[in-house]
Structures are given as structure tokens and as C-alpha cells.
Amino acid sequence: MGAIALTNTLTPDANAIGAKDYDIEVPFDITKVPPVKVDNEDQRSFLTQIWCINQQWHLAGKHRVLYRELLGANHCTEAGMDSLKSLLGKDLWSALYPNSRKVELVDTVPNQLKYNLREILQVTEKNLAKDKEVMKAAQEATAKSFKEICGNAVSKRRLV
């Protein structure tokens, strides 16, 4: 994945609003962020995209990033914005944008979000790893149970 394309063709008004948005800082508590459930490949793709772009953003230093850049080409839609809002949680989103402010894809992402997103995605990754461990343990228990059933010839008795 290439580096983030930073936008510099903003009008003076958009530039002033973007600078103001970039500097938004609000209290953040990871325990108030809703748990993230990954039920399908689209959700996994979205989270992977956000993680990769967030990493590039961080490595690029202090640069303004627009929501359309954060969401990437695959998720640069209203649905992508809704997914991002869900990922961040209602409390954090409302704190960032009080009075139900309409946030557009061309708006600047607050710099604070690169740190918040990293923390949220790290927690999500740990939870997914735990889910994998639970699934692996369940599969192993099922295999063991099946082996015991076969070993006790229960299935053979039914066939005779």
C-alpha cells in the first residue's frame, strides 16, 4: 500500500476549518468504546484498511488527513463513515463533534484519532485473537469427543 496522499488544494476557509478540526482534543476512555465484532470479510477488510492507513499516517508525522484518505478507496462512502463512527463509539464521536455536526469525507480527521484508533484496533486485535483461541479449543474438544466416540465403538454398534 502506498503512502497517504495528503491534500493541499484546500480553500482558505476549508484550510482554517481543517486546522481547527486537526487540533480537536477530547477526553478518551477505551472502556467506553463499544466492543467490535467482526462477523464477515467486509468488516475485517475495513478494520485492516483503517489499521494500515493509520500506521502510514503515524509514520508520516504530523500531517493533516481527510476522512476520505483515512477510509481509503474501498470504504470512502457514507457507509464507511458510519462504520468509522460505530468503531469509535457514540460517546467519542459526540465529544469530537458536538451539536450533531455533520462530518463530511473532505473534513480533516482530528490528530488525536490516530492514537485513539490505534488503541481501539489493538484491543480489537486482542479480542479476535482470544476468539481464535476459543474456537481452536472448541475444535480440539470436538475432535477429542469424536475420537472417544469412535474409540468406544458407539458408531459401530449403530451400524450393526
> Residue 16 has what pLDDT?
61
Q: Which grid cell is 42?
A: 467486509
- The DSSP H or E segment spanning 135 is helix 112-151
> Residue 13 has what pLDDT?
54
Dihedrals phi, psi of 108, to nearest 5 degrees: -80, 135
> Residue 146 has what pLDDT?
54
Q: Are 118 and 76 in contact (CB under 8 A)?
A: no
Dihedrals phi, psi of 66, to nearest 5 degrees: -90, 155
Nearest in space to 47 (alpha carbons), one of 127, 132, 134? 127
> Residue 93 has what pLDDT?
95
Domain ranges, ordered by start, for the chain:
12-159
> Residue 57 has what pLDDT?
81
- Per run of 10 residues, the mean pLDDT along the chain (length 160 residues) is 46 61 92 85 85 82 83 90 93 92 92 91 81 65 60 48
